[in-house]
Amino acid sequence: MGKITLKHVNKSFGDVAVIPDINLSIEDGEFVVFVGPSGCGKSTLLRLIAGLEDVTSGQIDIDGTDATYLPPAKRGLAMVFQSYALYPHMTVRKNIAFPLKMAGLPEDEQEKKVQNAARILNLTNYLDRRPGQLSGGQRQRVAIGRAIVREPAAFLFDEPLSNLDAALRVTMRQEITELHQSLKTTMIYVTHDQVEAMTMADKIVVLNAGNIEQVGSPLELYHRPANLFVAGFIGSPKMNLIAGAAAQAQGATTIGVRPEHLDITDSGPWRGVVGLTEHLGSDTFLKVTLDSGEALTVRAGGEVALRHGDRIALAPQAGKIHRFDADGKAMA
């Protein structure tokens, strides 16, 4: 079991409220990603759930039990840190066995569980090495192994892939997702990378300045952002946001169109000049400056012949325009 409920959770450091008031329910077995820009409070929220920080007010329930004032070890959660936080003086075997040793498990049982975790994570050949002798990916696996052996109610990941190179990040992303599918344990994952959030999550929680902006599935957030912040944050490249006459024509203060929802067509209402072009092979991203001054990003096919300085006309696809009011909230 791993149902976690946050009720009016508040965290302040002195007079600064980092988390003003959060209510959130995480269901058993869900893969939930906290995403948001740096300083939005996502790591603090994770640390509150872990028990590494005390809440200022509010309640945290784990599997229906009030865990607000329980020490970290008594919450039945396991955490994987950004820096891996492996014990440098212990071998991989001892690192993975450490939580079992602390729980007072007999040594033969410890060894059995260590071997099992090592098999799942392809670490069997590295059990007698020290963390300093491992690559970044292997270290991250050891950190995950140390979490797995505890058989926790939920796994907490605090930006676990940020120290890895781009290629390894993709591999580890897939491994963690597969691990979730095989263990079916609740996972809470913190990242500032919205691509990680989109590819891994069952449910994304978008945070901004300590507040939840929107909770939903990746595609829900992508297709129906609740406000301008979510619209601008989710999606890569970012959604184009246009104010002024074009928005007023749609009865909104601001409108948003994703780069893939703009067609290059002679009859398009928005005219402008092509600036930068980014060729990715499968796609080409064009930076277009409209005559009205707005800069838009347009996704075109891989073999687009447009070049810097070319004039083009753009048309938003029907039904793909997001409308926002003066408060930045999405309009129906």
Task: Give contact residues for another protein (rule: CB under 8 A).
Answer: 50, 52, 71-73, 77-79, 81-83, 85-89, 98-99, 102-103, 146, 150
End-to-end Cα distance, the chain: 38
The residues pairing with 211 across neighbouring beta strands, listed in sequence order, are 208
Q: Are 32 and 26 a contacting pair, CB within 8 Å?
A: yes
For 21-52, b/e burial (b = at least 16 CB within 10 A) is ebebebeebbbbbbbbeeebbbbbbbbbbbbe
Q: Report, in Å, the least distance between residue 146 CB and another protein.
A: 7
Q: Report, in Å, the least distance between residue 252 CB and another protein.
A: 45
Q: Which is nearer to another protein, 33 or 142 (CB)?
A: 142
Distances (CA, A) of 214 to 4, 173, 230, 321, 331: 18, 23, 7, 19, 15
Residues contacting residue 10 through CB under 8 Å, at least 6 positions apart: 17, 19, 20, 21, 22, 55, 56, 57, 58
Distances (CA, A) of 120 to 114, 116, 123, 169, 182: 10, 6, 8, 19, 10
Q: Which is nearer to another protein, 111 or 325 (CB)?
A: 111
Q: Report, in Å, the least distance between residue 14 CB and another protein.
A: 10
Q: Which is nearer to another protein, 1 or 73 (CB)?
A: 73
Q: Report, in Å, the least distance between residue 3 CB and another protein.
A: 20
Q: Report, in Å, the least distance between residue 99 CB and another protein.
A: 4
Q: Which is nearer to another protein, 43 or 253 (CB)?
A: 43
Count of CB atoms within 10 A of residue 142's CB?
29
Q: Which is nearer to another protein, 76 or 328 (CB)?
A: 76
- What is the distance of C-alpha 131 from the center of its chain? 27
Q: Report, in Å, the least distance between residue 54 CB and another protein.
A: 12
Q: Which is nearer to another protein, 56 or 289 (CB)?
A: 56
Q: Are 233 and 194 a contacting pair, CB within 8 Å?
A: yes
Q: Report, in Å, the least distance between residue 156 CB and another protein.
A: 8
Q: Which is nearer to another protein, 24 or 86 (CB)?
A: 86
Alpha-carbon gap, residue 127 to 115, rounded angstroms = 9
Q: Which is nearer to another protein, 52 or 313 (CB)?
A: 52
Q: Are 211 and 45 a contacting pair, CB within 8 Å?
A: no
Q: Report, in Å, the least distance between residue 217 CB and another protein.
A: 29
